[in-house]
A and B are shown apart, each in its own frame.
Chain A
Amino acid sequence: MISLAGRDILHSWGKFVLTGIGLGLLIGATLTMAGVYRGMVDDARVLLTNSGADIWVVQKDTQGPYAESSSIRDDVYRGLLGMSGVAQAANVTYLTMQVRHGARESRSMVVGFEPGQPGEPGYLVAGRRLLRGHFEAIADVKTGFKLGERIRIRRHEYEVVGLTRRMVSSGGDPMVFIPLKDAQEAQFLKDNDAIIADRARTTANPALNRPGVPGLLDAVTASQTVNHSVNAVLVKVGAGDTAASVAQEIRRWKHVQAYTREQMEEILIAKLIATSAKQIGMFLAILTVVSAAIVAFIIYTMTLGKIREIAVLKLIGTRNRTIAGMILQQALGLGLIGFIVGKISATLWAPAFPKYVLLETADAMRALVIVMVVCALASTLAIRAALKVDPATAIGG
């Protein structure tokens, strides 16, 4: 038996292909939305992987440093280094801000780290690592900064000496790495007018400016200009110890919060991007319904255009299931064309998105199944219409 659906598609391939392209662009948008979500999850995982840590030690009762602000003293790491199971511990700061280069700005996450310790970018794609203690930076290529360029973070300029890739925050902002001391200063650095005003307030405070206690005012003023806080301490666990047990000990003895990799993933994926995921889920649901409605409408219209042929087919003895099969196959064919166009479109335009779009093969396979199921369901309206056609209408007027 010949394939009636196949012949009809070949006969009016132009209409089919154009319709398929239209549907495909919609499917491409759907795949991209899924890719945006996957990209967010991947960004979160990459962020954790790139930090090179097994445990994140943060301020007690917070879920920092990515989901909530966290501030701990920069000497906490020393106590951690003395604990059993801790191989490395290093301070790290995170500050999301606009980094300027001339008239250009890049929204970036500025990371303060100590060279050779957890928190340092794992690899470079150009340039070198930080060799000086101040005013050098390594930037992710997505910032758009070039080697040798001078970028401005708060009041200071930094020379870009290295470039890295796929170092982004959980929000997708590219990272700029600078020395820890510079980052600590940058977090709380005020402009000169504010510093003068603060000093005047301190001097005017009789509790801090006491003639009977010489040097007190100077000590208080000095402490106001130095920042001894960091956002987290990244810990590497020694061989033979588990992150969970070491984190448990840190929580017990150091009055801080300690998260393992799994717990940080839970915070980032299930909490930090949960709202975005729901938002994307809603879009996906709407796009799926819209796609189904479009397929149903197209197949229904195409079927109505063939009512006379269907009546003749039924009159000359074609089974209902053959006619239903023809319509179903056309709907599935349309879905297949749409999926292929959608997959190609999504692959082509994904790199142009400002945030990472991760198109996974498993998602594409799931989308293919959903598209086929949706097309099959959408064709039921047209099949109903076709099966209602009375073969008698082929005879007479």
Chain B
Amino acid sequence: MDHGIHIEGLSKRYGDGDTAVEALKDVNMRIAPGEVVGLVGPSGSGKTTLLKCLGAVIEPTRGRMTLGGEVIYDSEQGGWKTPDLRALRRDRIGFIFQAPYLIPFLDVTDNVALLPMLAGRANSASRARALDLLRALDVAHRAGAQPSELSGGEQQRVSIARALANQPPVILADEPTAPLDSQRALAVVRILNQMANQYQTAIIVVTHDEKIIPTFKRIYHIRDGRTVEEAGEGREIS
């Protein structure tokens, strides 16, 4: 498998000496393009730390990470492969948060178009891309609305569109269904599956949500900084 996400021997230690905390211990993951996997575990198990390492916002202590077939981090070869982590996050990683965190002073279209614009694409092309995604996510009719005018489900769909805006090989979703009821939570997972399939994006969904865990075909359990892979139920979402 040349694309998607490939993590080998990833470790992260906070602090030094007696006070050092080993948050991640030799984590290994492999997620194919178009695949959605769950990352579950109790609080303090290392989920957020793993997400921050994958999101290039903190530096792992050891290991190797590959995104879309390109090594982005290798502790054996000096760490990050690019000094511009901001551009790495912008172009190669999509983020979906627990709350949508849309920019309140931009309308729906510009919330999505902002990423391509930041990447240097023309405003018109960026907005066209945003509208395509909004159509795909069935929120194009709210394209000119302000985020505050949207329902929770609509806001989360817009945030998914934003994550897809620069066609990243990977999307990191941090408890994206936490504030939603069962029906809306399952709808979001269905959309994530559709988008992963349609755009061949690997998606990691960090979740505690018992409603959506049975929908994953593969699940990584994380406990005390170590991951264990197991097959999920892969239950169909009606």
Contact = CB atoms under 8 A, between A and B. Distances in A.
B57 A391 contact: yes
B104 interface: yes
Nearest to A314: B86
Given A395-B51, A396-B52, A316 B90 contact: yes
Nearest to B48: A396
Given A317-B87, A317-B115, A309 B97 contact: no
Contact of A317 (B58, B89, B106, B172): B89
Interface in B83-131: 86-87, 89-91, 95, 97, 101, 103-106, 110, 113-115, 117-119, 123
Name the interface size band of chain B.
20 to 34
Interface in B17-61: 47-48, 51-52, 55, 57-58
A392 interface: yes
Contact of B52 (A2, A12, A312, A395): A395
B48 A315 contact: no
Which of B90, B119, B162 has the most chain A CB atoms inside 10 A of its CB? B90
A16 to B, nearest CB: 11
Nearest to B121: A1
Contacts of B154: none
Which of A309, A317, A322, A390 has the most C-beta atoms of chain B within 10 angstroms of its own C-beta?
A317
A394 B97 contact: yes
A266 interface: no
B115 A313 contact: no
Interface in A81-97: none
B122 to A, nearest CB: 10
A397 to B, nearest CB: 7
Contact of B105 (A1, A8, A308, A390): A8
Contacts, number: 81
A313 B51 CA distance: 17
Nearest to B89: A317
A392 B57 contact: yes
B162 A316 contact: yes
B75 interface: no
Given A316-B89, A395-B97, A397-B48, A1 B123 contact: yes
Contacts of B47: 396
Contact of A396 (B51, B101, B119): B51
B86 A7 contact: no
Nearest to B101: A312
B95 A394 contact: yes
A72 interface: no
Interface in A344-397: 390-392, 394-397
A4 B95 contact: no
Contact of B123 (A2, A7, A391): A2
B144 to A, nearest CB: 13
Give the most central of A7, A12, A313, A391: most B CB within 10 Å: A391
B119 A317 contact: yes
B174 A11 contact: no
B111 to A, nearest CB: 10
A202 B123 CA distance: 100
B146 interface: yes
A316 B89 CA distance: 6
A394 B118 contact: no
B162 to A, nearest CB: 7
Contacts of B104: 11, 309
Contact of B95 (A7, A11, A315, A319): A315
A316 B162 CA distance: 9
A318 interface: yes
A394 B172 CA distance: 12
B89 A4 contact: no
A334 to B, nearest CB: 15
Contacts of A274: none
A314 B105 CA distance: 16
Nearest to B55: A395
A4 B51 contact: no
A312 B97 contact: yes
A315 B55 contact: yes
Contacts of A317: 86-87, 89-91, 115, 118-119
A282 interface: no
A156 B110 CA distance: 81
A8 B104 CA distance: 8
A124 interface: no
Contact of B58 (A4, A313, A392): A392
A395 B86 contact: no
Contacts of B123: 1-2
B55 A316 contact: no
Nearest to B100: A312
A10 interface: yes
Nearest to A322: B118
Which of the listed residues B47, B87, B104, B105 has the most CB atoms from chain A within 10 Å of its own CB?
A: B105
A314 to B, nearest CB: 7
Interface of B: 47-48, 51-52, 55, 57-58, 86-87, 89-91, 95, 97, 101, 103-106, 110, 113-115, 117-119, 123, 146, 162, 172, 174
Given A7-B110, A10-B105, A312-B103, 19 more contacts: A2-B106, A4-B106, A8-B105, A11-B105, A12-B105, A308-B101, A309-B104, A312-B101, A314-B86, A315-B55, A316-B118, A316-B162, A317-B87, A318-B86, A319-B118, A322-B118, A394-B97, A395-B174, A396-B51
5 tightest Cβ-Cβ pairs between the two chains A and B? A317-B90, A11-B105, A396-B48, A8-B105, A392-B57
15 contacts: A1-B118, A10-B105, A11-B104, A309-B103, A309-B104, A312-B101, A316-B89, A316-B95, A316-B118, A317-B91, A318-B86, A392-B52, A394-B95, A396-B48, A396-B51
